[in-house]
Amino acid sequence: MSILFYRSVLFCFLIPALLPVKNRAIKPHPLHVSTTDISYNPKDNKLEVTCRVFTDDFELALQKQFNAKTDLQKPVLHTAMDVLVKNYLNAHLQLKTGDVAVPLNYLGFEVDKEAVNIYLESEKITVPKKMDADVSLLHNIFDDQINIVHMTVNGVRKSGKVIYPDRKIEQVF
């Protein structure tokens, strides 16, 4: 009886571990989260925004939104991916200071290991006393998405999380 047990263990666990990686299924990560860091730069009087998203999740969101093949890691496709990333962020991230919408200028993206960093900035604005963010990153693919939002004004950092289906977060400084 114990021989059967050990053979089963060997067959189920050890043999698959010895197979080449390309033959094993890659399991997606179980956590669907992004971070958005919004900081007021007093030298430039601008909001600087960095969004960090898992690369595989973001590629899937871009594919679904634009019905296009995506690969954020291929340098030859970077210009084409810039267009998709810019349009996606315009649709899924809006900011207000007070009651005034703050348009964001897309600066670009870069892949950093398993994540993509996306960079945006505003035109010159006055020091915000209140900031509102409408963040729906990856809502088009995950119904358990969590978007963590950090807002920093004059060295004061306030953070919160937006859990699907919620989209909005407000901070007063």
* pLDDT tens digit sequence for 34-83: 999 999 999 999 999 999 999 999 999 999 999 999 999 999 999 999 99
- The reply to whether 11 falls in a domain is no
Distance (Å, whole) CA 119 – CA 110: 9
Q: Which of 94, 95, 73, 69 is nearest to 84 (CA)?
A: 69
Phi, psi of 96 (to 5 degrees): -135, 145
Give the pLDDT band of residue 30 (cuts 50, 70, 90): confident
As a residue count, the chain comes to 173
Residue 95 lies in a domain: yes
The verdict on residue 10 lying in a domain is no
Alpha-carbon gap, residue 135 to 88, rounded angstroms: 11
Q: Work out how many domains the chain is built from and give that number.
A: 1
pLDDT digits (tens, 9 = 90+) for 120-143: 999 999 999 999 999 999 999 999
Residue 98 lies in a domain: yes
Domain assignment present for residue 23? The answer is no
**Quick check: is 20 in a domain?**
no
Q: Is residue 99 part of a domain?
A: yes
